[in-house]
Structure 1
Amino acid sequence: MSKKLMQDSNIEKAKWSTEHVELFLDLCVMEVMARNRPGTHFNKIGWSNMIQKFNDKTGKYDKAKLKNKWDSLKKTWKEWHTLIGRETGLGWDNEKKTIQASDEWWDKKIKFICTYPLSLRRYFQQAEHEVNTTHWIEFA
């Protein structure tokens, strides 16, 4: 086994609580509003601010862990946006953290999602746990 692989296998996987995800998203929004995301990526100041503020409140995670979470949430948001799109007439149940829609809408979406590979269907099942829809950041 290579030295790099041995080092990587010793790195502990980040465990993200709902509170930590929400804190991270709040910090992302703050840095976007502070113009520390001039294009599609946060600049050095933005990352530095987020790392400092996140660790001040939680005491954990370096830039790599935060960047991995950003990438994961970005992918989740894109899939969520594919599911919801620009559809109207939908609601959000904040208590259940689910979409409120008619049975017809759900039937249509379930048929659509079932055409996806199994890995992507599992990803949709995890999406509601990772994305708090009160935090909409344009990832594109």
Structure 2
Amino acid sequence: MYAKLCQAIIVLVYVSSYANCNDIRLGFTSSQSKKIYSEIKQADPALWKRTDDVIINAPLNEVISAVFVTDLRDDKDGEAYIESGGVGEKSVTIGLKSPSILRGYKFEIEVFTNNPNAQYFSKGAAYYPEMYPRKY
């Protein structure tokens, strides 16, 4: 009984410490996913709140499958949010904001895409309708 109580307390402390950060984890990656954007965005402290918008567009006929934004500062009190677009769309706009004046931010942004039509292409087999004529 005591061991289960200790495990529950450890899980509760871990979850409460992780729930305090503003990281974004949307979507999922698969073996067909392609990373189209990976950058660390950083703003130095200033006399005003630092804000920035990052716009990422998917290439050609691909759609966004995952968006990961991680706050890299020790106190993890910066704000990151999705302004428009996102998973399943052709673009995503991510807003970044420092927590207060005289503070900056540091975020790592990763965006992955998938080609929704890739499942219809085959590397081995091909179907040619003229090979199998119809009988009328």
User: The TM-score by the shorter chain falls in which range?
Assistant: under 0.3
Structure having the larger proportion of residues in strand: 2
Structure having the larger proportion of residues in helix: 1
Structure number with greater CO (CA < 8 Å, separation at least 6) is 2
TM-score norm. by structure 1 comes to: 0.20
